[in-house]
Amino acid sequence: MRLALGIRYNGQAYEGWQSQRSGRTVQDKLEAALARFTTQRIGTLCAGRTDTGVHALMQVVHFDTAIEREPFSWVRGTNRFLPDDIAVQWAHPVPDEFHCRASALSRRYLYVLSESPVRPSLDAGRVGWSMYALDGDAMRAAAALLVGRHDFSSFRASACQARSPVKDLRRIEITRSGTGDRCRWHFEFEADAFLHHMIRNLMGCLVRIGRGDAPPEWIVEVLEARSRKVAAPTFSADGLYFLGPLYDARWGLPAEATLQGGGAAYDGPP
């Protein structure tokens, strides 16, 4: 039987998703919990690997097992052995041809940014930070120039293993909440797939434009250069959330994981 799980985690304490020798990754903790619950070794595949310090609202994994238990048993049983900052949200049997990565129609990320003269404290590690006031109209104008199918080499980490830098960036939404010199910005990104550090590199450029250090049109120069050397530095991982992949409804996954269902809603810091 192939089983899919939806997982949320706070990434502050972990060295990203992918298993490491240190054992301090989300995948290591999940597979250890599954092994204790089932008394068998279970290897998992994920929809999108996250970096050190990056959070997930709906990471989706799948694995094959001969063990048959009710979905609620997989959720409760696995959560019993997980640390408090990782929790399985749902479990669902899927056909053998389902693949959490290859079957995804799109992926979504959210960056939460605090604009304040003082650095974050209670929500440190859960939001990014700008001590400078940001121009939302300028950032939205730049974001509109990024939407579409492009070569995103300028926003790609040197360690990126993607076969192609060409991605279809389908949507960037930038919203602001709060007034005065203390507010929150939400940057939501949706694409067919993302390159390593792509969101953080896009954020670095958008924030530079928002501060007034470059005009919105500068983003086109960066895009066309196809070189990391011309882009802004990689932005902090603190405020980055993997909102999750979206699938066709035919797989029978919960509505929050389907394109028709609209995806998971963000419920992070205010």
Active-site residues, by number, are: 51
E strands along 95-134, which residues? 106-115, 128-130
Neighbours of 177 (CB within 10 A): 9
On whether the CB atoms of residues 98 and 62 are closer than 8 A, the answer is: yes
Q: How far apart are CA 262 and CA 265, in angstroms?
A: 8
Token digits of residue 20 = 């490491």
Neighbours of 189 (CB within 10 A): 25
Q: How far apart are CA 64 and CA 136, in angstroms?
A: 46
φ/ψ of residue 209, rounded to 5: -70, -40
Token digits of residue 130 = 């700008």
Distances in whole angstroms, Cα of residue 224 to Cα of each of 16, 189, 196, 228? 30, 20, 19, 11
E strands along the chain, which residues? 2-9, 45-46, 55-64, 86-94, 106-115, 128-130, 148-151, 166-177, 183-191, 240-246
On whether the CB atoms of residues 153 and 226 are closer than 8 A, the answer is: yes
